[in-house]
Structure 1
Amino acid sequence: MSEFLEFALHEEPTRAGWDELGAVGLDQDAVARHLAAILALPQLDLPALRARGFKVALDCVRGAGATIMPQLLDAMGCEMVAINTETDGRFPRDPEPTADNLPELAVFVRAEGADLGLAVDPDVDRLSLVNERGVPLGEDFTLALACSVVLRRTPGKVVTNLSTSRVVEDVARAYGGELVRAPVGEINVARRMQSEAAVVGGEGNGGVILPDLHYTRDAPVASALILQHLVDEGTTLSAAAERWPSYTIVKNKISFPREGLPDAYVELERQLASDGVDSSDGLRLHWDARQAWLHVRPSGTEPVVRLIAEAPERVEAEELIERATAVMDGVG
């Protein structure tokens, strides 16, 4: 964006006559090409997937996912039951695919006896999971389980952002991989994946990036990898998730002057003695023995500072948030 503004303000754009303008076309085959590319991924065992015959409950929140997700599930031999597959953009709920926003899908999974539920966001680049018991897993597990599929076949580096759950790190280590963290934002993760030659990556909001296809979050790809993971493990989604440690992420936001952040970071680092510091995107502190971390960064969309903490128990994460808030109150 900064490069565009610089050009717009200081450079003369190239101009064309009315008879030299380009044309806008409609690509009718884009979905079919993308679907074919997903089904050709080396991580997928289509005969095994089709033999498993998953029953999948799908929630497309009346967004773009309804154009490709049913086709994908059908091609993978799934029996699909679905809600909110109209493509009119009239969201029936908060469209963010967070656990708190999926009670309708949770009930639907149980009522239909589905093996799992898949919820995508309106532009179908993020995926959230509901297990066969009707329990939403949280978006971080989407990336963690997808990484498992890739790493068991191609060990290598995984890139995610500084606010993503430790469970992704646990998965990477279990398969002999290395976790690399980047600043928050899809573009930051994608660029770091390219520079690190990562085999998989994404963000804890349910976004999975698979370089074998492209460097962008992709919920259909994530869905295919999740189903493949269940084939690999020969188990249910609840059992697949229970294999990994359980953590709780707590989030808060406070009003705080941006100009005061450098001093706040110094005090946080001093008063909350940690095992490691990352200052590439705000301030991230981590404690190895406690399996906990704290990330403090200014919001890119609101005039606030975000505080995110994770620990094995909610009370520990809440304590980190409270201590950090108290330190910042003392500075501000």
Structure 2
Amino acid sequence: MVSVSGIRGRVGDPLTPELVCGAAAAFGAFLRGEGASGPVVLGRDSRTSGPMLCAAAIAGLQSVGVDVIDVGIVPTPTVLLAVGHHHAAGGIAITASHNPAEWNALKLVTGEGMFLDADASLRYRRFLREDDPPRAAWNALGGLSSDDEAIDRHLEAILALDILDVEAIRAAALPVALDCVRGAGGLVVPRLLEALGCTVTAIHTEADGHFPRDPEPTAEHLAELGEVVRASGAVVGLAVDPDVDRLSLVDETGAAVGEDLTLALAVDTVLRRTRGPVVTNLSTSRVVADAAAAHDVPMVLAPVGEINVARRMQAEGAVIGGEGNGGVILPALHHTRDAPVAVALILQHLVDTGEALAGAVARWPTYHIVKTKVAFDRSALDAAYAALSDDLDADVEDRTDGLRLGWNERRAWLHVRPSGTEPIVRLIAEAPDEKAAQALVDRAGSILDGVA
């Protein structure tokens, strides 16, 4: 699958070394055609297919005369920071993020240290489809070097952030539990926690790609971490995905809290220290808006997708943003989701409030999100949106990414949007109680059935 999110698939069928080599060669040539110069930074998560696909990507880049800097097994945000450090033309992160172990992918990065946006992705896909990248002669092939200090620089940059009171966090000596799911997080998050003076009880820190559970850090996958939290007396449990751009939380009772709370607590932490807009996507919980409202700053909604949020953050001058899947973006460091930064902000929040996680979460309203998906003919989407708008009589309507309807007094919303990767339509609703959210999804589904 080739999309704005990169190139991904199951390893071996269809994601082969040959495909990766060709895609990397095309990306190197594409960057040159866009006027970029310099090397391309390459990093990966811990998946067992990583070494093979990295070798293929290196060969492809070298074949078009592009130098490669290999940063090894690192978080995806570390790759993006390394692009800036090396003044590189771009970067490639070989990772399928939260997908199961049989998947892998190429996430493509520009010289800005950000993922390709919709326009650049479209140009690259057109180049990939229509052009044969010019290959370098034997004496003009790209070189290969390694950078073993990318994680060190990432950690140093986090610890140097003005937004953090590092000494106060260290003085608190917080007991924390950690689950790195045998991804790249095992190489960075324990080091960060130790630098912040935490007492750490960790599981699955071996960065070998043999994921012991579904690697997506959603509530249903965090039971083992909950047991570790209870057994160790931790004030918070931290779970990251394999490429360390998402953070989920477990409270001191062992209960997982919704991924949206990661962003809401991070937003509150930042806004206690600096004022400015907050940006998140159209499918993020209202609790993030509550955090922004508590500090009387605007919150702006962007289309779903990390790069869409990041671009809107740049345009708005946002001081923090991200997505409700546990992805926190702090522009003071860079414009990409960064779980290590999120970890530091959550610890700062606990120090600020003087509470363990359950107490910190209890300060905010509770919402329930219901999600489902339906098969639907995309050619009928405009008619479906009109029918939904007419029937549901919302206070607020947004059509920048499908259709999002909001009801202010009911504190509820419904988002209907086509999937970017499947021939289905996603229905997402939130309300203060689960029955109300389910009723919105059910009603929307009935209306779509009537249009189809």
TM, length-normalised to structure 1: 0.98
* Structure 2 Cα separation of the partners of residues 111 and 5 of structure 1: 50
1:143 equivalenced with 2:263 (yes/no): yes
- Aligned match of 1:252: 372
Quick one: which of 388, 404, 408 aligns to 1:284?
404
Q: How does 1:37-48 map to 2 (within 5 A)?
A: 37-48=157-168
Give the one of 310, 317, 320 matched to 2:437. 317
Please state if 1:206 is matched with 2:326. Answer: yes
Matched residue SS, 1:87? coil
Q: 1:197-276 maps to which residues of 2 (within 5 A)?
A: 197-276=317-396
The match for 1:55 among 172, 175, 196 is 175
Tell me, what secondary structure is at the counterpart of 1:132? coil
Q: Is 1:192 the counterpart of 2:312 in the alignment?
A: yes
2:418 matched to 1:298?
A: yes
The aligned residue for residue 74 of structure 1 is: 194
Q: Does structure 1 residue 99 correspond to structure 2 residue 189?
A: no
How big is the shift at 1:16? 2.6
Query: Which amino acid is the alignment partner of residue 299 of structure 1?
Result: S
Q: For residue 399 of structure 2, what is the amino acid of its counterpart?
A: S
Give CA deviations for 1:112-138 in whole Å, capped at 9, x if unaligned.
Answer: 111110000000000000011111111
Give me the whole-angstrom Cα distance separating, in 1, the residues matched to 2:249 and 2:299. 23
Percentage of matched positions with identical amino acids: 62
Compute the displacement of 1:9 (Å): 4.8
The answer as to 2:435 corresponding to 1:308 is no
Per-residue deviation at 1:11?
Answer: 5.5
Amino acid at match of 2:318: A
Following superposition, the deviation at residue 5 of structure 1 comes to: 2.7
Matched, 1:90 2:225: no
Asked whether 1:134 is paired with 2:264, we answer: no
Question: After the TM superposition, which segments of 4 or more aligned residues of structure 1 sit over 2 Å from their partners?
Answer: 5-16
Q: Deviations over 1:275-304 (max 9, x none)?
A: 010000000000000000000001112211
Shift of 1:68: 0.2
3-state secondary structure, aligned to 2:178? strand
Structure 1 pair 89–18 and aligned structure 2 pair: CA distance change class (3 A): same
Name whichever of 298-307 and 155-164 sits farther off.
Answer: 298-307
Residues in 2 aligned to 1:181 and 1:25: alpha-carbon distance in whole angstroms: 41
Residue 133 of structure 1 aligns to a residue in which SS? coil
Cα distance in 2 for partners of 1:306, 1:325 equals 10
**Amino acid of the structure 2 residue aligned with 1:115:** V
- Alpha-carbon distance between aligned partners in 2 of 1:8 and 1:143, rounded to the nearest angstrom: 36
Aligned-pair distance for 1:15? Answer: 4.3
Q: Match for 1:149: what amino acid?
A: T
Q: CA deviation at 1:32?
A: 0.4
**C-alpha distance in 2 between matches for 1:238 and 1:8:** 49
Cα displacement (A) at 1:13? 4.2
Look up the match of 2:450: 330
Partner SS, residue 20 of structure 1: coil
- SS of the aligned residue for 2:139 comes to helix
- Supply the AA of the counterpart residue of 1:97: P
Partners of 2:435 and 2:145 lie apart in 1 by 55
In the alignment, what sits opposite 1:177?
Answer: 297
Which string of whole-angstrom CA distances, capped at 9 and with x for unpartnered residues, describes residues 229-265 of structure 1? 1111111111111000000000011111111111000
**Partner secondary structure for residue 146 of structure 2:** coil
Q: SS where residue 19 of structure 1 aligns?
A: coil
Q: Distance in 1 between matches of 2:223 and 2:129?
A: 48
Q: Deviations over 1:139-168 (max 9, x none)?
A: 000000001111111111000000000000
Question: Aligned partner of 2:156: which letter?
Answer: A
Gaps of 5+ in 1: none
Does the aligned pair in 2 maintain the 1:98–1:139 contact within 8 Å? yes
Q: Distance in 2 between matches of 1:36 and 1:69?
A: 13
AA matched with 1:230: L
Q: How far has the Cα of 1:6 moved from its partner? A: 2.5
Q: Is the 8 A contact 1:156 1:176 kept in 2?
A: no
Partner SS state of residue 160, structure 1? strand
Partner residue, 2:66: none
Q: Is the 8 A contact 1:268 1:327 kept in 2?
A: yes
For residues 136 and 280 of structure 1, what CA distance do their matches in structure 2 show? 32
19-28 or 135-144, which deviates more: 19-28
One-letter identity of the residue aligned with 1:92: P
Gaps of 5+ in 2: 1-120
User: Which residue type is aligned with residue 451 of structure 2?
Assistant: V
- Aligned residue-pair number: 332
